């Protein structure tokens, strides 16, 4: 089997519109959560979210092209542009067929769909845009990446709800590992800070209502947590076959060592008891990587700050790692960026890769009142320097989907 490495990173998220700003914010323990500005949130129980700030798609797209893309696709293009530039991966007529795209989104162009539905109802069918359907499709961001950057290899959109970003990384890595591709653009994008999403998730009672102190609202593993904070953004990783990356002298951030997926198969929204499904995904990722549980140094968990998720994920980590669970460093970057849904696993994958590359573990902020049922080492408050050789990133989604990606420091 071929080895797969990470050579480029790109992101747009509530902490920053590039990787450098994002990483500095994560290490500093800074929150990107604030009052909702995309619409008037006054009637809603939850009035806070993680919005991307100062984002101008026309700074890198022709205005006409930008108008024909839903916001989630614009975010994906921005993050991909940064990742490709960071990687230095050339895309030419000769190699474009050997580069693939695996990009996911939880719900795709829902903003476009809602806008066009309003036009249909108020102005009639003749005023609906001919771009309404193409802009709304979940696979349109991956298609736009191919068009924008001239990438002609296998192209697909994956959807595993909030596990989507991790699934995309894992599936892209598997295509390279099998020898189908020399490189892949992988990740996720989401732009769902919208009235329907806030209302829907609020009805499920999973959103934090800490409206008066938004930066303290996302509090994974804290006894006073009251729910997740919905966010938007995109995360992109450039994956390459190792020999291909070495031949062109690419900088290597880390190696994608293994990937595992599973499904709880018990409930549309609630996790399996004791995190049984997520535990199977972690075991599968470690088995595929040829790693023993005690070799893992760091876990970037799903860590949503909902009561059920944090408790069941803690149980899953204990089930997989046994006594070693208490030696692990675990930190939820959702405490700072919120929950990016289909982009969550990609942005958290970037954070996990940078943790290995820089030897710094971002903190779990707002963890001030430890939950007795969540009793592992969650790196509260402040970042920590550490020698991280192996790390895993977990994500789980509605429908019972679970995904785990194992990364390790690149060594010859």
Q: Is 324 a catalytic residue?
A: no
Instruction: Catalytic residue, from 244, 267, 324, 339: name it.
Output: 339
245, 257, 280, 217: which is closest to 349 by C-alpha? Answer: 257
Backbone angles phi, psi at 52, to 5 degrees: -75, 135
Q: What is the number of other CB atoms lying within 10 angstroms of the CB of residue 155?
A: 18
Q: Is 162 a catalytic residue?
A: yes
Residues 164 and 189: their CA atoms lie apart, in Å, by 9
Q: Is 244 a catalytic residue?
A: no
Residues 361 and 338: their CA atoms lie apart, in Å, by 18
Backbone angles phi, psi at 53, to 5 degrees: -110, 140
DSSP, collapsed to helix, strand or coil, labels residue 138 as coil
Instruction: Catalytic residue, from 162, 244, 374, 401: name it.
Output: 162
Bridge partners (DSSP) of residue 261 are 403
CB of 3 within 8 A of CB of 75?
Answer: no
Instruction: Catalytic residue, from 302, 374, 401, 404: name it.
Output: 302
- Please list, in sequence order, all residues whose beta carbon lies within 8 angstroms of the beta carbon of residue 122, skipping any fewer than 6 positions away: none
CB of 232 within 8 A of CB of 340?
Answer: yes
DSSP, collapsed to helix, strand or coil, labels residue 49 as strand
Which residue numbers are catalytic?
Answer: 162, 302, 339
């Amino acid at each position: 089997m071929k080895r797969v490495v990470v050579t480029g990173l790109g992101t747009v998220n509530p902490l920053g519109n590039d990787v450098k700003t994002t990483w500095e914010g994560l290490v500093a323990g800074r929150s990107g959560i604030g009052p909702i500005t995309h619409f008037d949130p006054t009637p809603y129980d939850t009035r806070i979210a993680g919005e991307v700030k100062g984002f101008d798609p026309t700074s890198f797209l022709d205005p006409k092209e930008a108008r024909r893309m839903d916001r989630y696709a614009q975010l994906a293009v921005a993050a991909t542009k940064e990742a490709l530039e960071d990687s230095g991966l050339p895309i030419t007529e000769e190699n474009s067929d050997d580069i693939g795209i695996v990009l996911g989104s939880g719900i795709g162009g829902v903003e476009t769909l809602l806008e066009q539905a309003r036009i249909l109802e108020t102005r009639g069918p003749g005023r609906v845009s001919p771009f309404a359907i193409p802009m709304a499709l979940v696979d349109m961001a991956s298609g736009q990446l191919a068009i924008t950057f001239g990438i002609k290899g296998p192209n697909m959109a994956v959807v595993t709800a909030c596990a989507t970003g991790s699934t995309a990384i894992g599936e892209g890595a598997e295509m390279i590992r099998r020898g189908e591709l020399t490189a892949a653009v992988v990740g996720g994008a989401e732009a769902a800070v919208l009235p329907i999403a806030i209302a829907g998730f609020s009805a499920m009672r999973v959103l934090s209502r800490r409206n008066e102190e938004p930066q303290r609202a996302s509090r994974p593993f804290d006894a006073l947590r009251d729910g997740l904070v919905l966010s938007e953004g995109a995360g992109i990783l450039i994956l390459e076959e190792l020999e291909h990356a070495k031949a062109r002298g690419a900088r290597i951030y880390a190696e994608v060592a293994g990937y595992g997926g599973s499904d709880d198969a018990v409930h549309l929204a609630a996790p399996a008891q004791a995190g049984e499904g997520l535990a199977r995904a972690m075991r599968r990722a470690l088995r595929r990587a040829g790693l023993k549980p005690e070799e893992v140094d760091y876990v970037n968990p799903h860590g949503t700050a909902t009561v059920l998720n944090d408790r069941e994920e803690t149980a899953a980590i204990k089930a997989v790692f046994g006594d070693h669970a208490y030696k692990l460093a675990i930190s939820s970057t959702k405490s700072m960026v919120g929950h990016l849904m289909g982009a969550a696993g990609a942005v958290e994958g970037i954070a996990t890769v940078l943790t290995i590359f820089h030897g710094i573990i971002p903190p779990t902020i707002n963890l001030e009142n430890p939950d007795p049922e969540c009793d592992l080492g969650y790196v509260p408050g402040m970042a920590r320097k550490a020698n991280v050789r192996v790390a895993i990133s977990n994500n789980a989604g509605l429908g019972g989907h679970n995904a785990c990606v194992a990364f390790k420091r690149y060594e010859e």
